[in-house]
Amino acid sequence: MKWVSRARSAVIVTTLLALSACGGSVDDEGNSKEEGPSCGLVAACGGDPTGTWTMDEACLDPSMFEDLDEGCDAEIDISGMVVSGRAEFRADNTHVTTVTQQGPIEVVYPAACLAAEDIPITCAQLSVKMQRAAAGKESPFTSVECAHAGADCACTFVLGRITTTSTGTWSVSGSILAIESEGEEPEENPFCAQGSSFTRGFPVSAGADASGPIKHYMRFTKE
């Protein structure tokens, strides 16, 4: 499934990353500094996802928005994001999934990152540059505002209402829902479909235990 951070923000991200040249997005112990909703773990129980489902809840993985942080030791908070959608998994093993994303993404850039081509800039100057980038034709953001947060610079990226639709085929192997969508890389999603509830985890990374508890997911109710 295409998410706006990957599919539509390339132009603004390229512009924004030119403003900073710090490395890493982890703390001193190697943990991610990105923030998002606190998700309860969900067991990947498998089941039959056949049916039409309406999304009730989404617990996003902040790493999906790491494009806004790459090259700079920034902190990302996506707790204000709103995601809604609908999924249809048909008996002929085809699927149609529609997802809408919108809302604010908070990014705090440390003072060490406030530089453009190695020339120090102020938070106000950074705000102007980001606003110009956000105004570009290919940008998914409706606005960007930055303000001082102590010595750091806190920016709010407001993601406009973006709806994407994926179509393709699906199959199940144990607790893994394999999805192939047109124009996208194949996905292996841990999932759990029980009665009127269907939880679809986000694709697992290479080498990860796909059968383990689901940490980031979309939860649906059968129509």
Q: What is the pLDDT of residue 55?
A: 95
Q: What is the pLDDT of residue 63?
A: 64
Q: What is the pLDDT of residues 73-104, one digit of tens each?
A: 778 888 888 889 999 999 999 999 999 989 99
Question: What is the Cα gyration radius of the chain?
Answer: 19
Stated as kind and residue range, the H or E segment containing 174 is: none
**How far is residue 60's CA from residue 38's CA, in Å, rounded to a whole number?**
9
**CA atoms in the 13 A half-sphere facing the CB of 126:** 31
**How far is residue 99's CA from residue 60's CA, in Å, rounded to a whole number?**
13
Point out the residues of the chain with pLDDT beneath 70: 1-40, 61-71, 115-118, 203-213
Q: What is the pLDDT of residue 59?
A: 83
The Cβ of residue 169 has, within 10 Å, a number of other Cβ atoms equal to: 15
Phi, then psi, of 5 in degrees rounded to 5: -65, -35
Give the predicted TM-score (pTM) of the model: 0.72
**How far is residue 4's CA from residue 6's CA, in Å, rounded to a whole number?**
5
Query: Which structure tokens are listed for 78?
Result: 């996506």
Q: What is the pLDDT of residue 62?
A: 63
Torsion angle of C-alpha atoms 19, 22, 25, 27, degrees rounded to 10:
-140
Q: What is the pLDDT of residue 77?
A: 85
208: which DSSP letter? Answer: S
In angstroms, how far is CA 202 from the centroid of its own chain? Answer: 10
Query: Which structure tokens are listed for 25?
Result: 């997005």
Strand partners, 164: 99
E runs forming strands in the chain? 51-59, 75-77, 82-89, 94-109, 115-116, 119-120, 141-149, 152-173, 176-181, 187-194, 197-201, 217-222
Say whether 79 sits in a helix, a strand or coil.
coil
